[in-house]
Amino acid sequence: MLDFITEKTTCWERLQKETKPVYIYGMGDGAMKIMSVFKKYGIKTSGIFASDDFVRGHYFEGFKVLKLSEVEEKEEDFVVVLAFAAGYEELVNRIKDISRRHTLYVPDVPVIGTGLFTYDYCVEHAQELEAVYNLLEDDFSKKVYGSILDFKISGDIKHLENITSTKIEIYKDIIKPNLNEHYVDLGAYNGDTIKELLEITRNKYVKIYAVEPDRKNFKKLTKYVNEKEHIYAYNNAAWCIDTQLPFSSKSGRQSSLSNMGTKYIEARSVDSILEGREATLIKMDVEGAEREALWGACQTISRYNPRLMVALYHRNEDIFELPLLVHKLNPKYKLYIRHQLYIPAWETNLYAVMK
């Protein structure tokens, strides 16, 4: 049972036993979440440091924010706990360089929801995790799946080595876009994934439906698609039904549905938007609402068998719940999992294509 998981001890448990000073690298929501868990586990924060560009002599949670060089001058050795996400090569390499000089942990805290991803959590959901593992189509998907679970438990970035795929590889090997796509982009942001698709298809497509809830992002999206034909933009959240939902607007990609949201937004289902029309490809990166978005596309998925690209990293349960839901909605799919360059294990996605 769970033979594909090798890690059983969490980074939190290892940090409890650390004798070296523990420094958090980064500020913001990630650091706040980590410090909250530190308090629960009785882990002492020795200080905070940030990248040199962000150090202005200011304080965060009572700590003066230092540069890495200042911490290295101050301490003979110390532990680094990463508190932000890195998604481009230069920053990832900087983090890897730090890991060669100091013990590094990258705790997995859910983007949305609560709770910690532990081995006990995996045991609790062993049946679901085993079911997903056995449904995966290729050996590489199974390797990625086990490595992502090991990383989420341990916070050790070694588990992210040798499992990274580029977007081009994923498009070429699994999604295989053609010139006749009816593309539904949920979480369209500023049009970046539409642009990726059009670069591959040489600007050929039939129709594109772009759904983005954040008003600022939507403004950038409409500017990008404004002069393109047969692209329909919707300033809505993706959901299982048409309704109104509280929405928390944040900078960039992080806007999301939230009970703490001060504004309400119109939510739409894919089935409602399409009104029975065809979809050949659906992308879902909707900040934790993927489960509801899938239910909202169930008729389209059942009738047209569109290829799916679904984010698996926003909630703890996404890693097993979403693949099982896709299989339930359409058992004819082949399921793949791929991870793109990112620390922590964001940009881990499910890809579903017809057998």
Q: Is 87 in the same domain as 222?
A: no
How much is the pLDDT for 57? Answer: 86
The CATH code of the domain that includes 103 is 3.40.50.720
Residue 138 lies inside a defined structural domain of this protein: no
Profile the chain (355 residues) by mean pLDDT over runs of 10 residues: 96 97 95 96 97 87 95 96 95 96 96 94 98 98 98 98 96 97 98 96 97 96 95 97 84 52 86 98 96 98 98 97 98 98 96 95
Residue 119 lies inside a defined structural domain of this protein: no
Residues in the chain, total: 355
Measured between alpha carbons, how far is 243 from 268 in angstroms, rounded to an integer? 7
- The total of structural domains in the chain comes to 2
Provide φ and ψ at 247, rounded to 5°. -135, 135
How much is the pLDDT for 260? Answer: 56
How much is the pLDDT for 256? Answer: 52
Measured between alpha carbons, how far is 318 from 316 in angstroms, rounded to an integer? 6
How much is the pLDDT for 257? Answer: 56
61-68 CB contacts, 8 Å cutoff, 24+ apart = 61/31, 61/32, 61/35, 65/27, 68/25, 68/98
Residue 126 lies inside a defined structural domain of this protein: no
The CATH code of the domain that includes 255 is 3.40.50.150
Q: Is 209 in the same domain as 303?
A: yes
How much is the pLDDT for 224? Answer: 96
Residue 80 lies inside a defined structural domain of this protein: yes
How much is the pLDDT for 345? Answer: 94
Q: Is 206 in the same domain as 278?
A: yes
Question: What's the 3-state SS for the chain?
Answer: CCCCCCCCCCHHHHHHCCCCCEEEECCCHHHHHHHHHHHHHCCCCCEEEECHHHCCCCEECCEEEEEHHHHHHHCCCCEEEECCCECCHHHHHHHHHHHHHCEEECCCCCCCCCCCCCHHHHHHCHHHHHHHHHHECCHHHHHHHHHHHHHHHHCCHHHHCCCECCHHHHHHHHHCCCCCCEEEEECCCCCHHHHHHHHHHCCCCCEEEEECCCHHHHHHHHHHHCCCCCEEEECCEECCCCEEEEEECCCHHHCEECCCCCEEEEEECHHHHHCCCCCCEEEECCCCCHHHHHHCCHHHHHHHCCEEEEECCCCCCHHHHHHHHHHHHCCCEEEEEEECCCECCCCEEEEEEEC
Provide φ and ψ at 305, rounded to 5°. 55, 45
204 to 76, 197, 216, 265, 266: CA distances (angstroms): 58, 9, 27, 32, 30
Non-local (6+) Cβ contacts of 132 within 8 A are 145, 319, 320, 323, 324, 335
Residue 50 lies inside a defined structural domain of this protein: yes
23 to 32, 48, 70: CA distances (angstroms): 13, 6, 12
Residue 228 lies inside a defined structural domain of this protein: yes
State which residues form the domain around 73.
11-107
Check if the beta carbon of residue 267 is closer than 8 Å to that of residue 239: yes
Q: Is 37 in the same domain as 178?
A: no
Q: Is 99 in the same domain as 235?
A: no
Residue 273 lies inside a defined structural domain of this protein: yes
How much is the pLDDT for 51? Answer: 86
Residue 212 lies inside a defined structural domain of this protein: yes
